[in-house]
Structure 1
Amino acid sequence: MADPEKLFKVDVVTPDGLIYSHRSSIIDMRAIDGQRSIMYNHVPLLTPLAIGDVKVKRSREMNQVVDHIAVSGGYIEFSNNVATIIADSAERARNIDVSRAQAAKERAEKRMKEAREKHDERSLERAQIALRRAVNRISVYNSKK
């Protein structure tokens, strides 16, 4: 008889509350120092996250379900087979309003152009972050297809 699949709990929390809670066989995410993957019985860790796609694989079987979550920074803490992501903002791919994300992307590009013309480094930096967030949301939305 095969060993039962080893799953661990994954929770994603934002200032608005719990937005995701499932069991997973592996999660992939982008930390500020590079790509990370976590599996059952991983060593404890606490690391800051970059703007990116968190992929939660809920099964290693043939019918693997992968949930995509757009996160805009935050932290992941893993211990005792519980992964907790505390994010500044997070959205599941199925909940992303892609037209709103596209509008945010266009606004950010416009603000970047204006900031460059005015040589306003601080505004340029904020616009670049807004652009990365919008592009990430669009990319995560498209990953669900």
Structure 2
Amino acid sequence: MASSDKAYSIEIVTPRKQFFAGEVTSVLAPGQDGLFQVLKNHAPLLAALKGGQVKLELAGGGNQNFTIADGFFEVSDNKAILLAEDIS
């Protein structure tokens, strides 16, 4: 199965800017109750995030890692959005 068959779209934003928009195959994020991973076809989810590391596995290959402050993550119908107070 090609990586594009496993990909879904995500947008990552702060109150000041759009940080990332594109296709990923996996997101690992720090939820209030612990780390969680989201893959394609995940059940609808709304989760509160705490500050920590987020890891994206990009659909085109490679990874992107960054640190967020508190926020929220929502996924539904293979579209996700990560809202964070700040990203570094």
Query: Is this a same-fold pair by TM over 0.5?
Result: yes
- Output the amino acid matched with 1:37: Q
Aligned length: 87
Higher strand fraction: Structure 1 or Structure 2? 2
In the alignment, the residues of structure 1 paired with residue 14 and residue 75 of structure 2 have an alpha-carbon distance, to the nearest angstrom, of 17
- Output the amino acid matched with 2:81: T
Alpha-carbon RMSD across the aligned residues, in angstroms, is 1.6
- Output the amino acid matched with 2:62: V
Q: What corresponds to 1:82 in structure 2?
A: 79
Q: What corresponds to 2:14 in structure 1?
A: 14
- Which structure is higher in RCO with an 8 Å CA cutoff and minimum separation 6? 2
Q: Structure 1: which 4+ aligned runs deviate by more than 4 Å?
A: none
- Return the offset for 1:64: 3.4
In the alignment, the residues of structure 2 paired with residue 74 and residue 18 of structure 1 have an alpha-carbon distance, to the nearest angstrom, of 14
In the alignment, the residues of structure 2 paired with residue 79 and residue 69 of structure 1 have an alpha-carbon distance, to the nearest angstrom, of 23
TM-score (norm 1): 0.56
What is the percentage of aligned positions where both structures have the same residue?
A: 24
In the alignment, the residues of structure 2 paired with residue 5 and residue 80 of structure 1 have an alpha-carbon distance, to the nearest angstrom, of 14
- Return the offset for 1:86: 0.6
In the alignment, the residues of structure 1 paired with residue 21 and residue 48 of structure 2 have an alpha-carbon distance, to the nearest angstrom, of 20
- Output the amino acid matched with 1:49: L
Q: What corresponds to 1:51 in structure 2?
A: 51
- Return the offset for 1:5: 2.7
- Return the offset for 1:23: 0.5
- Return the offset for 1:7: 0.4
In the alignment, the residues of structure 2 paired with residue 19 and residue 27 of structure 1 have an alpha-carbon distance, to the nearest angstrom, of 15
Q: What corresponds to 2:36 in structure 1?
A: 36
In the alignment, the residues of structure 2 paired with residue 52 and residue 83 of structure 1 have an alpha-carbon distance, to the nearest angstrom, of 18
Q: What corresponds to 1:73 in structure 2?
A: 70
Higher helix fraction: Structure 1 or Structure 2? 1
Unaligned runs of 5+ in 2: none
- Output the amino acid matched with 1:8: Y
